[in-house]
Structure 1
C-alpha cells in the first residue's frame, strides 16, 4: 500500500457512517475514523441489520474503519455513578467494534483538575486495564492516544500528554488488545517535539499516527497543513525511517481539506527522501 493510501481521514461526526464509507470510496480514502456519540451514529442506534450493511460496505470498498471515543468523557473518573457510566460507555464502544467491522478504537487517559493528578491517573489506569480485559473477550483493539497540553494555569489538564505520562499507562498494560495512537501534532506542542517523543516511545506499538498542523510549543489547534510550522516531511522521514507500517489519520478542517492535503503530505514526504 502506498503512503497516499495509508493516510486516512477522521470523519468524526460529520457524516452518517454509511455515507462516510461511500464518501471514502469515492475519494480513494482507505482509512476513516468515526465518533459514535451523537446523532445518526450514536452507539446505541446500530441494530444487527444496519451493522450487517455497514460491514458489507466496508468489505466491498476495502475501507478500514476506526472508532474514536470522545476525549470529554473522563476515563480518569472516580466518582460513584459517574465511574460506572464511563465503564458502560467504553464497553459500548468495544461491543461496537466487532459489530461494525471496525479495526480499532482510539481511547484516552482522561484528565485531572490540578489538585488530584495521582488519584486520576490511578483511576484511569485501573479503568484501562478493565477495558483491555474486556476488549480481549471481544477481539477488539484499543489505541491509547497521547493528548494535548493545556495552558499551565488551566485548572483542567489532559493526562498522557507527555512521554512520561503516556509511558505510565502503556508500561503497565501488555495485551494484544492494547496499542498506541501517536498524535504527532500534540508532540509538536511540547519541548520534546516529534523527535523527542520518537526517541522515547515504543514505535512498534503504534498502530496509527494522527496529523494536523499547529505551532511549535503553541496551544492546541488542528490547522490545515501550511497554516502552522509543523514539518510534515521531517515527520514522515523520521517515522517511516524507523520502520512504521501503520496508517496515518488527518484530523483538521473539512473533509475536503483533509482529502486534498494527502497529496501535499506525500509530496512533502517525497521531498524529504521518503519512498512513497
Structure 2
C-alpha cells in the first residue's frame, strides 16, 4: 500500500529536526530529507547533524522516503535565480561536475545512515557551450561513479525528470535506464513534471512500473502544459484518483511524497491540507 510522506523542503525556515517533528504532527508516515541548505547541505552536514536527525526520526517514528539531492543551492554565496541544479552532473567543467558527483555520494551516505531506500538526482540543463549530446556523455560518466557508490551502500538512485532539463520526460528517463543497464538506477517520478510536459499520468506510471524509486506529488494549474508551480492538492487540476489507481495497478508500495517547497511561509498549512486531500487514497 502507498504511504504518504512530506518533504522538508517546505520547511526551510525551520531546522531539519524541527521540520521532521512538524511533519509527524500532521499524520505522515514518512519524511523526505532536503539534501541542500538549510537542511542537509553535505559539505557542512556532519556526524552531529546526522545524530540530531536520527533522534528526531526515532522520536517521531517517521521513515525516510528519500533524500532529495536535486539541488545544491548552498554552493553559492549569492545564488543566481536560474542556478537550481548547478553545479550539475552534466556540467562541462570537470571540477564542477566532480564536485556534484561527490556531493551526490554524500547524499547516498546519508540515505544509508537513516534507512532511506533512495536518493533522487536531477540531470541539470545543457548550458551554452555544452550541447545535449556532449551533456549526455557527461551524465553517463557521472552516473557510473554515483551508481558504483550507491550499490555499495544498498541505495537506489532515482533520476527526476523535468521539462527543460537534459532528461525531461518519461521516454528519456526510461531510455537512460535501459541504456545504463543497472538495477540501482530508476526514476523518481514527479507527477506534476509529467503533467506539465503533457503526459498522461496513468500511462506514465504504468510505463515506469518496476523502475520507480519514489514518487513526488503536487498539484498543477492547467494540468497538461500547465505552469510548473507546485500547489497543494485540490488547488490545481490534476486527477489524483488516476494517479493512485495507476500506482495500485502496478503494485507500487513505496512512499508518495508531497513536495511543496512553494509554501515556505505556511508549511504547516500546506502539510495539513495536502494530507487531508490525499488521505482517502492511501
Give the structure-2-normalised TM-score: 0.81
Determine helix, strand or coil for the equivalent of 2:242: helix
Q: CA 1:26/1:258 → structure 2, altered by over 3 Å: closer, same or farther?
A: closer
CA distance in 1, matches of 2:32, 2:232: 18
Give 1:34's aligned residue: 33
The Cα of 1:35 is off from its aligned counterpart by 1.8
Give the structure-1-normalised TM-score: 0.83
* Counterpart mapping for 1:158-197 below 5 A: 158-197=165-204
Give 1:23's aligned residue: 22
The Cα of 1:21 is off from its aligned counterpart by 2.2
* Structure 2 residues not aligned, in runs of 5+: 72-83
Give 2:67's aligned residue: 67
Determine helix, strand or coil for the equivalent of 2:219: coil
2:152 aligns with one of 132, 137, 143: 137
* Structure 1 residues not aligned, in runs of 5+: 150-156, 270-275
Give 1:99's aligned residue: 113
Determine helix, strand or coil for the equivalent of 2:58: helix
Q: CA 1:261/1:25 → structure 2, altered by over 3 Å: closer, same or farther?
A: closer
Give 2:231's aligned residue: 223
Query: Which range is displaced more, 7-16 or 109-118?
Result: 109-118
The Cα of 1:40 is off from its aligned counterpart by 5.2
Q: CA 1:130/1:41 → structure 2, altered by over 3 Å: closer, same or farther?
A: closer
Root mean square deviation, CA, Å: 2.3
How many residues of Structure 1 are paired with residues of Structure 2 in the alignment? 257
**Preserved contact between residue 186 and residue 212 of structure 2 (Cα < 8 Å):** yes
Determine helix, strand or coil for the equivalent of 1:90: helix
CA distance in 2, matches of 1:27, 1:191: 32
Give 1:273's aligned residue: none
The Cα of 1:232 is off from its aligned counterpart by 1.0
Give 1:260's aligned residue: 273
CA distance in 2, matches of 1:34, 1:17: 8
1:221-266 alpha-carbon deviations (Å, 9 max, x no partner): 1122222211111221222122211110111233421332222223
Q: CA 1:175/1:59 → structure 2, altered by over 3 Å: closer, same or farther?
A: farther
Determine helix, strand or coil for the equivalent of 1:112: coil
CA distance in 2, matches of 1:164, 1:38: 32
CA distance in 2, matches of 1:99, 1:238: 32
Return structure 1 stretches of 4+ with deviation > 6 angstroms.
Answer: none
Q: CA 1:259/1:222 → structure 2, altered by over 3 Å: closer, same or farther?
A: same
Determine helix, strand or coil for the equivalent of 1:158: coil
CA distance in 2, matches of 1:238, 1:135: 28
Give 1:154's aligned residue: none
Determine helix, strand or coil for the equivalent of 2:57: helix
* Counterpart mapping for 1:38-49 below 5 A: 38-39=37-38, 41-49=40-48
Confirm or deny that 1:111 pairs with 2:125: yes
